[in-house]
Amino acid sequence: MNVFSKIIFTIFVIQMNSYAFAESSSTDEISKYRELLADGNPAELWEMRGEELWKKKIAPKNVSLEQCDLGKGAGVVKGAYVELPRYFSDVNKVMDLEQRLVYCRKTLQGLSHEQAVKVPFGSVGNSSDIEALVAYITSESRGMKMNVSNKHPLEKDSYEIGKRFFFYRAGTHDFSCATCHSANKKRIRLQELPNLLNKLDAQKTYTTWPAYRVSQGEVRSMQHRLSDCLRQQRFPEPVYASDSMTALIMFLAKNADGGVYDAPALKR
């Protein structure tokens, strides 16, 4: 190697090193940022409000949600979320948490469908009762293992439909869920993308939703997470708490089986 190419080579090595360094120190600092934020999660405020709403009697029937059957019997909240979505014999279909909540608000509390799905996602000055209820209910499964059933044929169907949805490439940008979520260690900008086909990633992701999103100042549910993915995927808007979303959630939840539930969490 002559002197000239040696110099070039050295410069190249230094540059590559500083590059690698810049990248790893950026991600280190971002992990530090997340750690600092984890201390004091505003989602707790949603959990508190959700618990009040769960127990609050409201018109027209003047009953609370305390008799709502989330799958483990009327009124059982503890551990309900880690077994959802699931088959419900009273409606003969598979429901996720939010679909079930809508059902309980309609049948138990007597709300119309419009009332029951009103403000599914909150915004400034327009907070969502649903997000608060979801925060409360999910918090009651913290520390438990994901244990989603696929024994019932309809549960299996829901999973398979969700799987087809996950791989469905369409629209102007040719995106599917899989475009961003089927390879390890990928990032969009600096945001890490979980590989939802990889057990550990799928568990880590599913068990940390819902979450307080610092970018939005709200607790966001799984339905919101999926809606926002679909928006960026250049897909039209899914109807809130619909069967297709339940199917997709079923696919993701089942892939996360065995993961220890740890939400509402806090995310960017």
Partner 1 sequence: MKKMLMGLLVSIIITGCATAAIKTDYGQTMLTLLKSEFISKGPATVERVLSQDEVQKICSKYPVERPEKMAALIQDSQMKTVKYPSDGIYIGDWKNGEKIAQNGRGFQSSDPLGGVNGGNCYACHNITKSEISYGNIGPSLYNYVKAHGSSEQVIKYTWAKIYNSQAYTDCSSMPRFGHSGILDEQQIKDVMALLLDPASPVNQ
Partner 2 sequence: MNQSRRDILRMTSVLGLGLVGNLFGSLNVFGAEWMPKSFDAKNLADALKELGVDKYTVSSDVAVVSAEIAENGAVVPVSVSSVIPNTEYMAILVEKNPSPLSAAFNIPEGTEASVTTRVKMGGTSNVYAVVKADGKWFLASKEIKVTLGGCGG
Partner 3 sequence: MADPMRIRAVLNGDKVEVKVLIRHDMETGLRKDQAGEIIPPHFIKTLIAQYEGKTVLDAVMGISVSKDPFLHFKFKGGVKGGKLNVTWVDNLGDTRTDSAIIS
The reply on whether position 33 binds partner 2 by CB under 8 A is: yes
The torsion angles phi and psi of 49, rounded to 5 degrees, stand at -70, -35
Closest approach, Cβ 175 to partner 1, in A, equals 8
Task: Please list, in sequence order, all residues whose beta carbon lies within 8 angstroms of the beta carbon of residue 219, skipping any fewer than 6 positions away.
Answer: 42, 43, 46, 122, 131, 132, 134, 135, 210, 211, 212, 213, 264
For the chain, the first-to-last Cα distance in angstroms comes to 49
Choice between 81 and 87, CB closer to partner 1? 87
Please tell me which residue in 68, 177, 180, 229 is annotated as part of the active site.
229
Give the one entry of partner 2, partner 1, partner 3, none that residue 144 binds, where binding means its C-beta sits below a cut-off of 5 to 8 angstroms depending on kind: none
Give the one entry of partner 1, partner 2, partner 3, none that residue 30 binds, where binding means its C-beta sits below a cut-off of 5 to 8 angstroms depending on kind: partner 2
Three-state DSSP state, 267: strand
Choice between 55 and 231, CB closer to partner 2? 231
Which residues, numbered 177-196, are part of the site for partner 2 (CB under 8 A)? Answer: 188-191
Strand partners, 145: 260
The reply on whether position 49 binds partner 3 by CB under 8 A is: yes
Residue 1, CB half-sphere, CA atoms under 13 Å: how many?
A: 8
The reply on whether position 23 binds partner 2 by CB under 8 A is: no
Contact 43, 266 (CB under 8 A): yes
The reply on whether position 36 binds partner 2 by CB under 8 A is: yes
The reply on whether position 228 binds partner 3 by CB under 8 A is: no
Give the one entry of partner 1, partner 2, partner 3, none that residue 237 binds, where binding means its C-beta sits below a cut-off of 5 to 8 angstroms depending on kind: partner 1
Contact 91, 127 (CB under 8 A): no
Which residues, numbered 117-136, are part of the site for partner 3 (CB under 8 A)? Answer: 124-125
